[in-house]
Amino acid sequence: MSAFWSAWVTVITLAVIFGCTWLLLATRKSEKFKETTEETVGHAFDGIEEFDNPLPQWWFYMFVATVIFGLGYLMLYPGLGNFKGLLGWTSHNQWEREMQHAEEVYRPVFAEYATLSIEELQKPENEAGLKMGQRMFANNCSVCHGSAGTGAIGFPNLTDNDWLYGGEPATIKQTIVNGRNGGMPAWADVLGEDGVRDVASYVMTLSGKEAVAGTDVTNGQKQFQALCTACHAPDGTGMHALGAPNLTDDIWLYGGDFKQIAHTIRAGRAGVMPAQKDLLSDDKIHLITAYVYSLSNK
């Protein structure tokens, strides 16, 4: 915040506080502070007249206490422009202290579960550990994969046992720790629009769908074998080592209709799974891995 706006906020804030205080004191009738009167303020509404009585004593002192509290708060905590307060409090420091406290309290619990293998954590007696993994999944992963892990367009479904890089516990953990960078190159310049349509039509047949009318499936197959098998394998079943999806199981990351497949071939795709190693401890990642593994092994 610039010096001007800091001064502006400070002046406005203090002016409101002191203005209200002045108004409170200026309208106080000291000679009637403990008295009531039959005098009215001189006007009536629907036949109802308002007596000209002072504020009750307790009410007046409550206003004064509020002003004192407000000034004290603004001296101790941020609130007057760039003034940081005498205590030096910030929301970031408060968050760090709370996280440190939580880490100290729950570290032994995480460490206990870290001694168990992913397979052992699937057992009923370790259900509490899986629930912890579920809560951490909801906090860190659900924004992309959904609260139930069912994914969305461009974000893999974690419940169907169809894995881009493999669904073994060690592979899942590696994905969470280091992240993934998937790349499908664009083929529009190589194939041309007719070639894109032919290949898309052929790809549809790999999962049992009918070819699209007006396309040359034979040419599509020829182009697929020449350009796509290095990643997707000659039979289209994909390759875990490269994260290349299986094109024969009718499970699609970006949609499986002709238009969506053709767009993928034409423009390519770029998927990124962010690494979590700098955000989550190894013990927490272990529990999230166990939970993700459980989604497709129920």
Where residue 169 sits, what CATH number does that domain have? 1.10.760.10
Whether residues 158 and 237 fall in one domain? no
Domain that holds residue 211: 182-273
How many whole angstroms separate alpha carbon 177 and alpha carbon 164? 16
CA geometry: angle 139, 136, 167, nearest 5 deg: 110
Whether residues 283 and 171 fall in one domain? yes
Residue that is written with structure tokens 């593994």 in the block: 293
Other C-beta atoms within 10 Å of 124: how many?
Answer: 6
The answer as to whether 97 is a domain residue is yes
The answer as to whether 224 is a domain residue is yes
The answer as to whether 84 is a domain residue is no
Residue that is written with structure tokens 């795709």 in the block: 269
Per-position DSSP letters for 137-185, written without gaps between them: HHHHTHHHH-TTS--BTTB--SSSS--SS--SHHHHHHHHHH-EEEEE-
Whether residues 187 and 146 fall in one domain? no
Ligand-binding site membership of 20 (annotated)? no
Distances (CA, A) of 64 to 29, 34, 146, 244: 15, 17, 52, 70
Q: Quick one: pLDDT at residue 59? A: 87
Round the CA-based radius of gyration of the chain to a whole number and report it. Answer: 34
Whether residues 142 and 286 fall in one domain? yes
Whether residues 246 and 286 fall in one domain? no
Q: Quick one: pLDDT at residue 41? A: 73
Distances (CA, A) of 67 to 25, 58, 71: 12, 14, 6
Ligand-binding site membership of 141 (annotated)? yes
Domain boundary among 27, 50, 76: 76
Q: Quick one: pLDDT at residue 27? A: 76
DSSP state of 195: H
Ligand-binding site membership of 144 (annotated)? yes
Whether residues 107 and 134 fall in one domain? yes
How many whole angstroms separate alpha carbon 205 and alpha carbon 211? 6
Whether residues 99 and 175 fall in one domain? yes
Domain boundary among 76, 107, 126: 76
Ligand-binding site membership of 239 (annotated)? no
> How many domains does the structure of the chain reveal?
3
Whether residues 142 and 101 fall in one domain? yes
Ligand-binding site membership of 228 (annotated)? yes
Each residue's pLDDT tens digit in the chain (298 positions)?
Answer: 899 999 999 999 999 999 999 988 887 765 555 566 677 777 778 878 877 777 778 888 999 999 999 999 999 999 999 999 999 999 999 999 998 998 888 889 899 999 999 999 999 999 999 999 999 999 999 999 999 999 999 999 999 989 999 999 999 999 999 999 999 999 999 999 999 999 999 999 999 999 999 999 999 999 999 999 999 999 999 999 999 999 999 999 999 999 999 999 999 999 999 999 999 999 999 999 999 999 998 6
The answer as to whether 81 is a domain residue is no
Q: Quick one: pLDDT at residue 36? A: 66
How many whole angstroms separate alpha carbon 183 and alpha carbon 83? 49
Whether residues 171 and 280 fall in one domain? yes
Whether residues 12 and 148 fall in one domain? no
CB 160 within 8 A of CB 251: yes
The answer as to whether 149 is a domain residue is yes
Shortest CA distance to 29 belongs to which of 41, 18, 12, 19? Answer: 41
Shortest CA distance to 179 belongs to which of 44, 78, 271? Answer: 271
What are the residues facing 76 on neighbouring strands?
none
Q: Quick one: pLDDT at residue 56? A: 79
- This prediction's pTM: 0.74
How many whole angstroms separate alpha carbon 111 and alpha carbon 284? 9
